[in-house]
Amino acid sequence: MNNYKDRVVVVTGAGSGMGRAMVDEFTSRQAYVAVLDINLKAAEETISLLKNPELAFAYRVDVTNPESVKEAVDAVVRKWGRIDLLCNNAGILDGHATAHEVSVEEWNKVIAVNLTGPFLMARAVIPQMLEQKKGAIINTSSTSGFSAAGGGTAYTASKHGVIGLTRQLTFEYGAKGIRVNTICPGATATPMAMADPVTANSPDMLAALEKFPARRWCQPSEIAKLAAFLGGDEADFVHGSEYVMDGGWLAAARDPF
Ligand SMILES: NC(=O)c1ccc[n+]([C@@H]2O[C@H](COP(=O)([O-])OP(=O)(O)OC[C@H]3O[C@@H](n4cnc5c(N)ncnc54)[C@H](O)[C@@H]3O)[C@@H](O)[C@H]2O)c1
């Protein structure tokens, strides 16, 4: 099992759901973790729930804003002197709007958080990782990175884009010691999914849960364990891959929405 003692991990969207679970997983493996979220209170709450809160620090970041991103990454490097792993986890849903219904503002917002955000964060940490000659980045896409209908037009396009971003970063930086990979969760029991009327407890979702192979929601802690594998030395040969954790949803191709 990857031990993260003295490693420095940065998690975005760490005030909720999978990001919160990642902070728990990495600190339980002795990493120092920067708990970044646009909602500072939520980030602080994440830390208050930890067994070893002294390993974590909260910082407000808006991943869509280059200045905010630079400020947060600078703060991490000032505090701990390095960054070993960046988990680009922050993301938003899009209300399932179809292409002719989605407003340009909504499209831009979803692309800004889900795709430009991971790009800006990667762009800010890569110089530090190049200096270290080592580092890892995990981008969170979705089953919507492969198939339609998990969200609306903007969400699906953004999550397909995340996979392309991972592949291009791998091409550009893999030989320089930076491994980049994508996690593609399926339906996961987080506040995002549970607050969404189309996914949580809708008749379609309940019917799908009875049919697809795993027949249950994924837990955020399961995604966090996958991140802990991908970000550590046991995954040293894993570059540019998409790791799907969806209980067989894509394989069985029964997307109900
Ligand atoms: N829950 C699912 O079923 C599911 C499935 C596939 C993929 N995903 C993806 O997994 C990731 C985590 O999702 P989750 O379900 O834990 O969501 P969540 O809503 O529980 O948490 C997302 C966090 O991101 C933060 N955030 C939003 N905009 C931000 C910004 N501009 N800058 C910084 N932080 C910001 C929010 O404040 C929140 O704390 C997202 O990228 C999501 O698209 C989720």
Residues with CB under 6 A from ligand 1: 12-13, 15-19, 37-39, 42, 61-64, 89-92, 113, 140, 142, 185, 187-188, 190-193
Count CB atoms within 10 A of the CB of residue 207: 12
Q: What percent of the chain has pLDDT over 70?
A: 98
Q: What percent of the chain has pLDDT over 90?
A: 88
What pLDDT, on the 0 to 100 scale, is given for residue 149? Answer: 84
pTM to 2 decimals? 0.97
Kindly write down the DSSP assignment for every residue of 79-129, as one continuous string. Answer: HHS---EEEE------TT--TTTS-HHHHHHHHIIIIIHHHHHHHHHHHHH
Pocket test for ligand 1, best of 16, 45, 139 (most atoms within 8 A of CB): 16
Q: Which residue has the higher pLDDT, 204 or 174?
A: 174
Between the CA of 59 and the centroid of ligand 1 the distance, in Å, is 16
Between the CA of 194 and the centroid of ligand 1 the distance, in Å, is 12
Instruction: Give the Å distances, CA to CA, from 126 to 37, 104, 172, 178, 228.
Output: 20, 31, 11, 8, 20
Full set of structural domains in the chain with CATH: 8-190+220-246 (3.40.50.720)
- Tens of pLDDT, residue by residue over 101-140, are 999 999 999 999 999 999 999 999 999 999 999 999 999 9
- Candidates 162, 148, 250, 160; CA nearest to 208 is 250
What pLDDT, on the 0 to 100 scale, is given for residue 166? Answer: 99
Residue 179: strand pairing partners: 136
- Tens of pLDDT, residue by residue over 19-52, are 999 999 999 999 999 999 999 999 999 999 999 9
What pLDDT, on the 0 to 100 scale, is given for residue 255? Answer: 54
Residue type for 151, please? G
- Candidates 67, 164, 159; CA nearest to 120 is 67
Residue 8 has pLDDT above 70, yes or no: yes
- Tens of pLDDT, residue by residue over 55-71, are 999 999 999 999 999 99
Q: Quick check: is 155 catalytic?
A: yes
- Tens of pLDDT, residue by residue over 139-172, are 999 999 999 988 999 999 999 999 999 999 999 9
What pLDDT, on the 0 to 100 scale, is given for residue 46? Answer: 98
- Candidates 144, 139, 182; CA nearest to 160 is 144
Look at 86-90, 196-200, 247-251 and tell me which has the smallest mean pLDDT: 196-200
What pLDDT, on the 0 to 100 scale, is given for residue 249? Answer: 92
What pLDDT, on the 0 to 100 scale, is given for residue 254? Answer: 54
Give the neighbor-by-neighbor strand order of the sheet with 135-140: 56-60, 32-37, 8-12, 85-88, 135-140, 178-185, 242-245
